[in-house]
A = this chain, B = another copy of it.
Amino acid sequence: MSLTFFTPGPAQLYPTFEKHLQTFVSEQLGSISHRSQQYRDLHKFTVDQLRTLLNVPDSHAILFLGSASEAWERILFSCVELESFHLVNGSFSKKFYDYSLGLCKYAHSQEKPMGEGFSASEVIVPEYAELICTTHNETSSGVQMPVSEIHKLKQKYPDKLIAVDIVSSAPYPELDFNLIDTAFFSVQKAFGLPAGLGVWIVNEKCLRKAEEIKKQYSIGAHNDLPTLWKNAQNNETPATPNVMGIYLLGKIAEDFNKIGVKNLRKETEQKADLLYKFIESTNGFSSFVKEKRYRSQTVIVTNTDQSSAGIIKTIKEKGMVIGSGYGQFKSSQLRIANFPATSLEQVQSLIHELKAL
């Protein structure tokens, strides 16, 4: 039986994935040199499609890494000489903070319990922090920081660099890259691809900062920003990249562009609305995130009165896979991914089965 995955990553593969994979295989793209014009054209195609989709200006490069976790490290190496600042309200924002400690930086944080969100007005960034690290969508708790609040935060601290984790939300958030210095995501979430590729969007200010830091400190050796940037100017990467992932991402981004990102966002909101309405109106379910404006549109988290493991099992028998809660909430919550790969009809089917429990 073919399953439909509503898990928050790895997630349901996008419906066109198989077709694009077939083309990759039949055109023997797995064997082409990463120093050939054929590769450079493929690379440029993906960058161009992402640039259109996410409205990324030429001030920013779009770079490829092994994963979004690698982006945490490369951003900290490149943008922080001594002190970083982190908004922490879940496991993934906490890991960004931990990475800073791991690089022996002085990492400041402002913390909230899981399930709560941040507004710009309540955030106080320490004077010497060089980089503000935010998480648009906390995959562990289903909290989102509204894009308007992220923009306000940068406007409140215009002299500091700001990084936005959009791992489990891109291309949903409509970031203004005139304000956002760097952002990153991975392909196994809303892009509906197998894992193994991270995308790092980063501007020239970060590059200049990395070059400055490099005079005194290590900024890493593998995929360091100046080397990545230089190679990207020529549509190449420093080491042999995940050519298959880059190709597939370009094709999916092209599919998204054909639909139009506005339509994708609208559909995401429609589906999220159905899910939240179901949760709010059904006995045995309640939204983990109490404040509506902080509720994620892409990873919906519900408390469950019953053990969530039982619900997951029953729903799986109906051909659908939903995620458990994260960490301490493993058995008392469900996480339901709401990515473009699952249609309105599939979300309705899921709700239908959840209602029948």
Contacts and interface: CB of A to CB of B under 8 A. Distances in A.
Interface of A: 2-3, 5, 7, 9-13, 17-18, 21, 25, 28, 30-34, 65-70, 72-73, 76, 98-104, 186, 188, 193-197, 217-224, 238-245, 321, 323
A157 B241 CA distance: 35
Contacts of A76: 221
A-B interface, 5 closest residue pairs, ranked by CB to CB distance from nearest: A66-B66, A196-B242, A102-B221, A69-B239, A30-B194
B222 A72 contact: yes
A73 B321 CA distance: 38
Contacts of A239: 67-70
A5, A65, A67, A186 — which one has the most chain B CB atoms within 10 A of its CB? A67
A63 to B, nearest CB: 13
Contacts of A197: 196
Given A7-B31, A69-B222, A69-B239, A244 B194 contact: yes
A18 to B, nearest CB: 6
A5, A67, A196, A244 — which one has the most chain B CB atoms within 10 A of its CB? A196
A32 B3 CA distance: 10
A9 B240 CA distance: 9
Contacts of A100: 221
Contacts of A242: 66, 194-196, 242
A140 to B, nearest CB: 12
Nearest to A186: B240
B195 A241 contact: yes
A33 to B, nearest CB: 6
A222 B70 contact: yes
Contacts of A21: 21, 25
Contact of A31 (B13, B34, B240): B13
B196 A34 contact: no
A10 B186 contact: no
